[in-house]
Amino acid sequence: MGILIRGGRIIDAASSTDMIGDIYLDEGVIKEIGEKLEQKEKNDRVIEAKGCLVMPGLVDLHVHFRDPGQEYKEDIETGAKAAARGGVTTVVAMPNTTPVIDSPDRVSYVHNKAAQVASIHVLQAGAVTRGEKGEELSDIAGMAQVGIPALSEDGKSVMNSRLYKEAMEQAVKYDLPIFAHCEDIDLRGNGCMNDDENAIRLRLPGICNATEDAIAARDILLALETGVRLHLCHCSTLGVARMMEFAKAAGMDNVTAEVCPHHFILTSDDIERDDPNYKMNPPLRTKNDVEALLRALKNGAIQVISTDHAPHGAKDKTGSMRSAAFGIVGLETSFALTYTELVEKGVLTIQELVEKMSWNPAKILGLDCGTLQEGHPADVIVVDVDHEYAIDKTKFASKGRNTPFNGWKVKGKVLYTICGGKVVYKDNESIVQE
Ligand SMILES: [Zn+2]
């Protein structure tokens, strides 16, 4: 049985497609795209997409599924459901679980469990060092063999530059990118929000931009030295945006970067009171930083929008920002927030959104996805961008409710998520009948 998606506006960045038409999916691949297609078989499912966008499934390079070890916050099944509800069909899970994913067996645990319980593609990154302790390299060769998409020490940086350079040489050898969380841990100290007048107002310890900038600069220099494919995670500062513009101008194609919706939408001015839902790492910065990030997104110096989906239990996010955990959930709000704040406001075109949320991340992973073209995998989403709705955290499929965006009015509701030719999410609230 195939699926015929009829009459939608088909958007694809890889092939520069923007047309009203039909898409026919069968046997897990996109069989045909055309202006008017007929049902091939009587029992084909027909999805009416008139007035909706039809786009490639989103590829999110940065999520935390907390499995193994902290399944009360999220597990592979609920994380994948949250992804599907947000229109995300491929994710890279970060390895800072309990225990840390630093061996082939632990990578395989996640991949095997995902094969059983996840409706979307879950790729598990491997830690750079054993236990993310920064002392000795993990089994990079072994993890490469069982199919990690990337190495990452996310949650922290490898502070020992010599060890990090050795890791990069290994990464080159096994053709793996390194996803870098840039943070000088000593410089951060006990900081819990951006180091500015709002931190003074709230009497909270600050985190200065140099905390991120110093390590990002080091990592870019090490990438220049080793030729490793370096991807900077969750960039938040004007300094990093400028460094990425410099790297692009210098022709360093091996360095890419991502930014998360909260970092290009909110600033520390939005933190009205000491509220852990505004505590993330890196922190919300200033208007100047946001402007620089948006410029770099627009000019292509920053290529990717990811979520850094970081679910926590209620008890991890109560009390003061001083002691609460870092991070917010993002999988179920990223498309709507990006569409509403960037596309509706004329910062990015819808094609550029698809490029940054599907096509560029797929290219970084070297995967055949993130595009709508005949013969490619049937990872497709249908999105209604006309009707405004309010983000409601009580409806999240994620176990995490930690978001500063609850109640935000947005456009961009995912109606269908199709992964590998199967409908893995359908918005039953909006779709009364097919
Ligand atoms: Zn991180």
Q: Give the mean pLDDT of 383-397.
A: 97
pLDDT value of position 429: 86
Residue with tokens 């955290």: 393
Q: Give the mean pLDDT of 26-41.
A: 96
Name the architecture of domain 3-54+376-401+410-426. Answer: Roll (2.30)
Domains 3-54+376-401+410-426 and 57-365 share a fold: no
pLDDT value of position 294: 98
Q: Summarize pLDDT for 121-174 with one digit per residue, the tens.
A: 999 999 999 999 999 999 999 999 999 999 999 999 999 999 999 999 999 999
Confidence at 432, pLDDT banded by 50, 70, 90: low
Rounded to two decimals, the pTM is 0.98
Per-residue pLDDT at 222 exceeds 80: yes
Confidence at 93, pLDDT banded by 50, 70, 90: very high
Cα dihedral 243→333→12→343 (10° resolution) = -70
Q: Give the mean pLDDT of 355-367.
A: 98
Structure tokens at 251: 């022709």
Confidence at 433, pLDDT banded by 50, 70, 90: low
Domain at 57-365: CATH code: 3.20.20.140
Per-residue pLDDT at 427 exceeds 80: yes
Q: How far is ligand 1, taken at its centre, from the CA of residue 227, in Å?
A: 22
Q: Give the mean pLDDT of 173-183.
A: 98
pLDDT value of position 126: 98
Three-state secondary-structure class, residue 56:
strand
Q: How far is ligand 1, taken at its centre, from the CA of residue 282, in Å?
A: 7
Longest dimension (CA), the chain: 66
pLDDT value of position 431: 81
Q: How far is ligand 1, taken at its centre, from the CA of residue 185, in Å?
A: 12
Per-residue pLDDT at 11 exceeds 80: yes
**Secondary-structure percent of the chain, ordered helix, strand, coil, rounded to 5:** 35, 25, 45
Instruction: Quickly list DSSP for 67-79.
Output: TTT-TTT--HHHH
Compute the distance between CA of residue 180 and CA of residue 187 in angstroms, rounded to an integer: 17
Q: Summarize pLDDT for 38-59 with one digit per residue, the tens.
A: 999 999 999 999 999 999 999 9
Segments making up each domain of the chain, as ranges = 3-54+376-401+410-426, 57-365
Q: Give the mean pLDDT of 282-311.
A: 98
Annotated catalytic residues are 308
Per-residue pLDDT at 434 exceeds 70: no
Question: For the chain, what is the mean pLDDT?
Answer: 97
Cα dihedral 228→101→304→80 (10° resolution) = 150
Q: How far is ligand 1, taken at its centre, from the CA of residue 157, in Å?
A: 9
Q: How far is ligand 1, taken at its centre, from the CA of residue 374, in Å?
A: 36
pLDDT value of position 76: 98
Q: Summarize pLDDT for 250-290 with one digit per residue, the tens.
A: 999 999 999 999 999 999 999 999 999 999 999 999 999 99
Q: How far is ligand 1, taken at its centre, from the CA of residue 45, in Å?
A: 41
